[in-house]
Amino acid sequence: MRRRVVVTGLGCVTPVGNDVASTWQALLDGKSGGAAITRFDASAHRVKFACEAKGFDPSAYMDRKEVKRSDLYTQFAVAGAVQAMRDAGLESGGYDPLRTGVIVGSGIGGIGTFETQHNVLRDSGPNRISAFFVPMFIGDIAAGVVSMRFGAKGPNFATQSACATSAHAIGTAFRHIQYGDADVMIAGGSEAAVSPMAMGGFANMQALSERHDSPETASRPFDITRDGFVLGEGSGIVILEELGHAKARGTRIYGELVGYGLTGDAYHLTGQPENHEGLQRSMRAAIADAGLKLDEVQYVNAHGTSTPMNDANEIRAIRTVFGEHAAALNVSSTKSATGHMLGAAGAVETIFCLMAITDGVIPPTINLTSQDPECDLNCTPLKPVTREVTAALSNSSGFGGHNASLAVRRLVD
């Protein structure tokens, strides 16, 4: 018998809030993180706006020396992990370090550090490159730093699967607890890719919205006028615990993680097969793993990137999987508010599913004013919907054809 796994702590940094409470309220209030880029001079760039994290202070979570020696993506990860461990009542202990692990991934890693140090190389030569360059930019270092912060000596590594990264991190951590490798896992993802090279690369492949007249409404999943995603940043971290371990502590439980599906498209570097059959299989696998009936799911947090191809494809995939029940679902894309947080997206959106279960509210797809007829499900436009949610599904897909779906439900004894 596989062990049951529950979620006891949540933490995040997003373009609309620097913790879960402020982010969740901003979602329900319909606030957007889209605005002109402030981190660098974007005047020569094709796309000059993004969803940046605003007012984030890493010194609230790390000392000055640690901040100086870490990339922004690691700072976001540590912030999310500290929040989540605090929320779970584990910040000061209450866990066995040998039975506690960390899986925190990043789709791109420390690209800001890479760009800065490349400029040093170009301008001053190789002897001026920072001795901390490599441990600052590599994609696994956030997981290592978080493990050191909490003395977690169990399974410790990073996942990297583009925009499915943190969904894979949570799903893999889930398996480690189910199979007895750990009792507690700190899992999720972090991203800080609002940088000159990343913005230029995404823009030149025509993946980004170019709605410069209204950055705050540029991310518009399922809308017939959508023209690309808006790059976001931040982190999402959850604390997973074996059910008995959590109950013995008497801690709050947000919900149970019950299903994990993961597939590959084997199709195209950045595109998707028709009706996204890979995502169909991922959803079916997560639902079957959870032992859920289709009509037990009320909410799907869609990958919903606001690109012409993804959104219609994903809606068709959801309709195919859920059949007649699809019409009774609430679907929404919270990327409409946060932008696309890449490797952090899956974890943040899983947090939103858990908050929907906890509060009985479906977060909306903001900016959805003219719904594409091809996106013909209830995509929860503009306003949150009060609804009892006992089970929800979060979808993630990434360049390279990676798909992951996570199923969460209200804890049932």
Task: Compute the distance between CA of residue 365 and CA of residue 203 in angstroms, rounded to an integer.
Answer: 23
Task: Compute the distance between CA of residue 390 and CA of residue 408 in angstroms, rounded to an integer.
Answer: 8
Task: Compute the distance between CA of residue 148 and CA of residue 189 in angstroms, rounded to an integer.
Answer: 17
Q: Which of 168, 245, 276, 303 is catalytic?
A: 303
Q: Which of 168, 176, 276, 340 is catalytic?
A: 340
Other residues' Cβ atoms within 10 Å of the Cβ of residue 296 = 14
Residue 272 buriedness (CB in 10 A; 0-12 / 13-18 / 19+): buried
Do 181 and 26 touch, CB atoms closer than 8 A?
no
Do 194 and 52 touch, CB atoms closer than 8 A?
yes
Q: How many CA atoms lie within 13 A of 370 on its CB side?
A: 4
Q: Which of 51, 163, 353, 375 is catalytic?
A: 163
Chain mean position to CA 217: 20
| Active site (annotated) includes residue 118 | no
| Active site (annotated) includes residue 45 | no
Torsion sign across C-alpha atoms 92, 98, 104, 109? positive
How big is the chain by its Cα radius of gyration, in Å? 20
For 177-212, b/e burial (b = at least 16 CB within 10 A) is bbeeebbbbbbbbbbbbbbbebbbebbeeebbbebe
Task: Compute the distance between CA of residue 226 and CA of residue 212 in angstroms, rounded to an integer.
Answer: 13
| Active site (annotated) includes residue 379 | no
In this structure, the dihedral spanned by the alpha carbons of residues 152, 157, 159 and 160, taken in order and rounded to 10 degrees, is 130
Catalytic residue ranges: 163, 303, 340
